[in-house]
């Protein structure tokens, strides 16, 4: 794209309609360095990310569909969406706040998962406005969730800003939220990556490094036990970088059925707002994805529940053919007194940023 083209504010193109007749728009954000990102207004969802490989060839590296009906289908396991109001699990869908008890939908028996059933943030249509500034091209999506929606207290106003840098292959997602009553908030993006190109058969050949000495062990229903444990000597030690397939079989019979763990990120350097969370490398294509965040945790999920659903371009999404790296506060924080707090108070602003930088590995020989 020419520099002149990148000066134009992106506008939404029609992407179809939801079952209940709402129009959905798709925004395209481009970098002069090659990265192309498409985001739709249903669920403030990443629909496509085209990143260059070692030969400069662009491939779409995230799972998704070509139309809204795909996203509304049973096969959609939170592909690319903004996830909330509270991502991940809340034990038995229950919590108590300011002396009031709340009960949320149980949609991941026996727990609440990813904000609910009908009106979680991934299922509603957001308002959107494209913009350009000296940093790049972006789109700002807003949604106002009424008091009590999906059982959560307070009216929650959420803004998610997607920005593609002008001259590097970097996508930054910034989240902001305000409430009029104390309420738990934990927001993430649930993109499923395969750096060989979405629809490639596995991610077991990807090499993952996590900046985490500790993780939060879970019970049989994937609710944290409350312990913060060392990764030392476990199959979840990714501090030095390891092929995902190397030890995954050891977890086949665990409650997580593979990797589905929340990692506690090591403290961020004092001089930096963002903390390195993860580096994923796909040796054959040379693609590398670096994730940095202001969040204290990251869920690494190895696509264990993917079941061969057919997505974009008729491609099949097989078991463990994509991975998620969900930057977040820890699961079930609202019920876990020793985890960092996720309750947003009226008058406060929730703020969180995650950066996804696509690079090329320099061959060793």
Catalytic residue numbers read: 190, 326
Nearest-CA neighbor of 37 among 163, 121, 160?
163
The DSSP annotation for 254-320 comes to STTSS-EEEEEPPPPPTT-SSEEEEEEE-TTT-EEEEEEESSSEEEEE--TT---EE-GGG-EE-TT
Instruction: Supply 73's token pair.
Output: 């289908």
Residue 301 interacting with ligand GLA (CB under 6 A): yes
Report the nearest approach of ligand GLA to the CB of residue 117 (Å). Answer: 14
Residue 120 interacting with ligand GLA (CB under 6 A): no
What angle (nearest 5°) sits at the alpha carbon of residue 140, between those of residues 86 and 197?
75
Tell which one of 299, 309, 335, 357 touches ligand GLA (CB under 6 A). Answer: 299
Interface pattern 68-107 for ligand GLA (x via CB under 6 A): ---------xx---------x-------------------
Structural contact between residues 12 and 128, judged by C-beta atoms closer than 8 angstroms: yes
Report the nearest approach of ligand GLA to the CB of residue 306 (Å). Answer: 8
Report the nearest approach of ligand GLA to the CB of residue 303 (Å). Answer: 8
Report the nearest approach of ligand GLA to the CB of residue 341 (Å). Answer: 21
Binding positions for ligand GLA, 249-288, rule CB under 6 A: 260
Structural contact between residues 33 and 167, judged by C-beta atoms closer than 8 angstroms: yes
Residue 131 interacting with ligand GLA (CB under 6 A): no
Comparing CB distances to ligand GLA, the nearer of 68 and 191 is 191
Comparing CB distances to ligand GLA, the nearer of 138 and 331 is 331
Comparing CB distances to ligand GLA, the nearer of 77 and 183 is 77
Interface pattern 322-341 for ligand GLA (x via CB under 6 A): --x-x---------------
Report the b/e string of 179-210 with b at 16+ CB within 10 A: bebebbbbbbbbbbbbbbbbbbebbbbbbbbb
Choose the binding region for ligand GLA from 127-135, 152-160, 299-307, 333-341 (rule: CB under 6 A): 299-307
Structural contact between residues 132 and 163, judged by C-beta atoms closer than 8 angstroms: no
Report the nearest approach of ligand GLA to the CB of residue 286 (Å). Answer: 27
- Reduced to 3 states (helix: H, G, I; strand: E, B; else coil), residue 16 is strand
**Rounded Cα distance, 175 and 299, in Å:** 18
Which residue shows structure tokens 């001089």? 271
Residue 317 interacting with ligand GLA (CB under 6 A): no
Choose the binding region for ligand GLA from 204-212, 227-235, 297-305, 315-323 (rule: CB under 6 A): 297-305
Structural contact between residues 250 and 256, judged by C-beta atoms closer than 8 angstroms: no
Interface residues with ligand GLA (CB under 6 A)? 77-78, 88, 113, 260, 299, 301, 305, 324, 326
């Amino acid at each position: 794209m020419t520099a002149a083209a990148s000066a134009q504010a992106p506008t939404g193109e029609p992407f179809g309609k939801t079952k209940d007749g709402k129009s959905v728009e798709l925004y395209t954000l481009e970098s002069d360095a090659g990265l192309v990102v498409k985001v739709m207004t249903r669920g403030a969802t990443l629909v496509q990310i085209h990143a260059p490989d070692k030969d400069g060839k662009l491939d779409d590296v995230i799972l998704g569909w070509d139309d809204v009906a795909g996203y509304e289908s049973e096969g959609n396991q939170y592909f690319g969406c903004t996830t909330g109001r509270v991502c991940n699990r809340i034990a038995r869908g229950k919590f108590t706040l300011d002396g009031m008890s709340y009960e949320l939908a149980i949609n991941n028996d026996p727990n609440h998962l990813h904000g609910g059933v009908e009106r979680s943030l991934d299922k509603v249509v957001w308002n959107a406005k494209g913009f350009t500034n000296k940093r790049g091209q972006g789109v700002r999506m807003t949604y106002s969730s009424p008091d009590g929606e999906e059982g959560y207290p307070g009216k929650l106003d959420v803004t998610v800003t997607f920005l593609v840098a002008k001259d590097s292959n970097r996508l930054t997602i910034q989240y902001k939220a305000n409430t009029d009553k104390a309420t738990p908030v934990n927001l993430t993006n649930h993109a499923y990556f395969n750096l060989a190109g979405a629809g490639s058969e596995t991610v077991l050949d990807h090499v993952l490094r996590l900046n985490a000495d500790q993780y939060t062990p879970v019970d049989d229903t994937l609710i944290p036990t409350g312990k913060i444990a060392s990764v030392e000597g476990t199959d979840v030690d990714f501090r030095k970088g390891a092929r995902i397939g190397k030890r995954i079989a050891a977890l086949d019979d665990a409650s997580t059925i593979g990797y589905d763990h929340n990692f506690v990120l090591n403290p961020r350097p004092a001089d930096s707002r963002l903390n390195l969370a993860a580096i994923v490398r796909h040796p054959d294509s040379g693609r590398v994805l670096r994730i940095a965040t202001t969040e204290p945790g990251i869920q690494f999920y190895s696509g264990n529940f993917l079941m061969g659903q057919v997505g974009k371009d008729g491609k099949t999404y097989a078991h463990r053919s994509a991975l998620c790296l969900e930057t977040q506060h820890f699961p079930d924080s609202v019920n876990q007194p020793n985890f960092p707090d996720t309750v947003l108070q009226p008058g406060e602003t929730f703020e969180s940023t995650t950066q996804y930088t696509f690079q090329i590995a320099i061959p060793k020989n």
